[in-house]
């Protein structure tokens, strides 16, 4: 027995943790929590990126499919703004066409009975990177053909129904008139080479650097470069569309 008034000395088996042990345990806990939070954040970011990429892919696919379907049926390409070769990414870009969607043998909006609201046969695709606010992300569909270079895509009847989240829209014009593939000879004929060609493909007065003359009439392939951007994610798409009905 211990003498009265004296405490027994603590032995090696007594419970409890020292300060150093608590500090080590706390540090390990913080490290584990930091790793767990980083993993959760990375998973959430990855999911958000996947959702954004999927949204951009779907939007681009829908717009490119629609343009491809309509361009393939075009009877004529009627006007072009800011084409390749002289392309400026900070300028408005547009392409007009006429088609015979209803099969009545008369292409364009001038035909009797053409539904100019729901099914116009003269169309213009238009993108303006200088527009303000959300309008600068739209690829517009104008139910008419251009006759002059517009200052805006928001012309009569225009609807931003092709795509939003657009960061760039470039159109290249090609031809299978390979005998004019001369400057340089690179396997495809550009609209500028068509413009330099002799009549009836080129202009009667010689090349004028203008695609909206006879050079455009000889174009039978369109290459579209579409750039989409949202939430810091950027996706680029490129497709060639052959004009079958010209």
pLDDT single digits (tens) 177-225: 999 999 889 989 999 999 988 887 877 667 788 888 788 989 999 999 9
Residue 181 counted as domain residue: no
User: The pTM is what?
Assistant: 0.79
Residue 231 lies in a domain: yes
Residue 140 lies in a domain: yes
In a domain, 16, yes or no: no
Residue 61 lies in a domain: yes
In a domain, 111, yes or no: yes
How high is the pLDDT of residue 14?
56
Question: CA-CA distance, 21 to 114, in Å (whole number)?
Answer: 85
Give the total number of structural domains in the chain.
1
Give the count of beta carbons closer than 10 Å to the beta carbon of residue 11: 6
For Cα atoms 229, 84, 143, give the angle at the middle one, nearest 5 degrees. 70
Domain holding 229, by residue range, is 50-176+220-242
The verdict on residue 236 lying in a domain is yes
Could you give the CA distance from residue 135 to residue 102 in angstroms, rounded to a whole number?
31
Q: Which residues of the chain have pLDDT under 50?
A: 1-2
| Residue 22 belongs to some domain of the structure | no
């Amino acid at each position: 027995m211990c003498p009265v008034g004296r405490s027994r000395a603590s032995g090696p088996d007594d419970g409890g943790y020292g300060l150093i042990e608590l500090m080590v345990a706390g540090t390990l806990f913080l490290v584990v929590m930091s790793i767990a939070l980083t993993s959760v954040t990375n998973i959430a970011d990855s999911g958000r990126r996947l959702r954004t990429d999927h949204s951009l892919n779907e939007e681009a696919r829908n717009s490119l499919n629609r343009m491809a379907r309509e361009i393939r049926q075009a009877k004529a390409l009627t006007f072009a703004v800011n084409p390749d070769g002289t392309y400026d990414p900070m300028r408005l870009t547009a392409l007009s066409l006429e088609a015979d969607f209803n099969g009545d043998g008369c292409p364009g909006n001038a035909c009797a009975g053409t539904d100019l609201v729901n099914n116009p046969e003269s169309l213009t695709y238009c993108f303006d990177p200088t527009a303000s606010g959300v309008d600068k992300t739209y690829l517009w569909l104008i139910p008419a053909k251009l006759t002059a270079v517009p200052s805006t895509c928001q012309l009569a009847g225009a609807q931003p129904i092709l795509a939003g989240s657009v960061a760039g829209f470039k159109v290249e014009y090609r031809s299978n008139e390979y005998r004019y593939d001369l400057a340089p000879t690179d396997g495809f004929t550009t609209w500028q080479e068509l413009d330099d060609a002799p009549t009836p493909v080129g202009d009667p007065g010689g090349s004028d650097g203008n695609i909206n003359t006879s050079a455009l009439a000889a174009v039978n392939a369109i290459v579209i470069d579409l750039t989409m951007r949202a939430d810091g994610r950027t996706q680029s798409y490129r497709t060639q569309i052959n004009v079958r009905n010209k």
